[in-house]
Amino acid sequence: PLAVVGFGLATFNGPVFWGALFLFITNLTTIALTATAMARLYGFSTNLTERGSKYQNIGMVTAFVVLAVPLFLSLQTIAWEAQAQRVIRDRVSDVFDGRAENVDPQIEFQSDLVNVSATVYTNELFDRAEVEAEAARVLERELGRPVEVTILQIESADAREAQLAQLGDY
C-alpha cells in the first residue's frame, strides 16, 4: 500500500492516494493493536498504573472503532456496487425479451448517478431509444438511483445465418 501511496502522489491521483494511505494506516494500526493485545494476553506486563492501563485499553478500543466505521462504510458501498452490477446485467438482458445472447455492461458509479454503457449481442435489432429508456426505467426502480443507459446492439452472426437460411428457403 505504501508504494501505491507514492504512485498516487506522483500521478496526482487523489482517490488512489487516499485509498492506499488509508489501507496502509489501517494495516499499521491493526498490527500494532493486535501485537499489544496479544502481549497482554500472554502476560507481558507494563509499568503502567491501573489507571494508565485503563486509558490504554480505552485508546485501543477507540482506535478499532475509528477504523471500523469507514471500513464498514466502504464494505457497504462495495457490496451495493457488486449487487448493482448483477442487477444491471440481468435487467438489461431482460429488456431484450430473452433475445440477447450476451450482455457486456460497463458501469460507472458516480455519487448520484449510475452510467451504464452496454454492448448487447442480439438476434434481432430493437429500437435503440425504446430499449435504453426501458432499461433506465427498470434499473432506476431497482437501484433507487438515477441511471443513464447507452446500449450498443450488435446483431449476432447466428441470427444473420438463420435469417439467410430463411431467405434461402423462399
d(CA 2, CA 6): 6
Strands 114-122 and 147-155: parallel
Least confident of 54-68, 75-89, 125-139: 54-68
d(CA 13, CA 15): 6
pTM check: above 0.75: no
- Asked if 122 and 147 touch (Cβ cutoff 8 Å), the reply is no
**CA 115 to chain CA centroid, nearest Å:** 13
pLDDT score of 165 more than 70: no
Summarize pLDDT for 121-146 with one digit per residue, the tens: 887 788 889 989 999 999 999 999 99
Residue 163 confidence class, pLDDT cut points 50, 70, 90: low
Question: From the CB of residue 125, how many other CB atoms can be counted at a distance below 10 Å?
Answer: 13
